[in-house]
Amino acid sequence: MQRSVDASTYRHDGRPTGPRPVFQSMLRGALLKCPNCGIGALFHRYLKVSDDCPHCREALHHHRADDAPTYFTIVIVGHVVVSLVLAVEMAYRPPLWLHAALWLPLTVILAIVVLAPVKGSLVALQWALLMHGFDPDAKEEIGDRLAPPAA
């Protein structure tokens, strides 16, 4: 994929796609907003991506986030919680019951808080890079198969 320097003429394989800056799109997704306009809600429930943006009508149902948000959330939350566990253990050596009482709820709460922004970022990244059905030339997918070409 090649993109020109001029933001008004972003191109994908030589075709203009409209501006799709990756960082801005991912930031909008992390804020749970549409990667295209930054105003409409990306999700219509906790982790359910809207079929299209309620503000600009950009199609969002093409995303294939699958398990990636959970993997990234595990990495992020794991680094935070394990670092805190080690720091507290080294500094205070609390009993194991206190460790369990602290870190288990913190892990669950952090995972719930982090998962939606991570999924929003990944959906926005797919949108910005024209992955899957976000590519205007992509064939519509039916399950694991590609749909036959329209007659």
Please check whether residue 25 is in contact with residue 35, taking contact to mean a CB–CB distance below 8 angstroms: yes
Identify which of residues 49 and 77 has a Cβ nearer to Zn ion in the complex.
Answer: 49
Shortest distance in whole angstroms from residue 35 CB to Zn ion: 8
Place of tokens 């198969």: 145
DSSP 105-118: HHHHHHHHHHHHHH
Q: Smaller CB distance to Zn ion: residue 30 or 34?
A: 34
CB of 142 to Zn ion, least distance (A): 26
Residues in contact with Zn ion by the rule CB under 5 A: 34, 36-37, 40, 53, 55-56, 58
Buried b / exposed e along 86-116 (16+ C-beta atoms within 10 A): eeeeeeeeeeeeeeeeebeeebeebbeebbb
Minimum distance, C-beta of residue 51 to Zn ion, in the bound complex (Å): 12
The distance of closest approach from Cβ of residue 41 to Zn ion in the complex, given in angstroms and rounded to an integer, is 9
Indicate left, alpha or beta for 2 from its phi (over 0: left) and psi (-120 to 50: alpha): beta
Looking at beta carbons only, is 63 or 77 nearer to Zn ion?
63
Contacts of 97 (CB under 8 A, 6+ apart): none
> Which of 114, 129 has the CB closer to Zn ion?
129
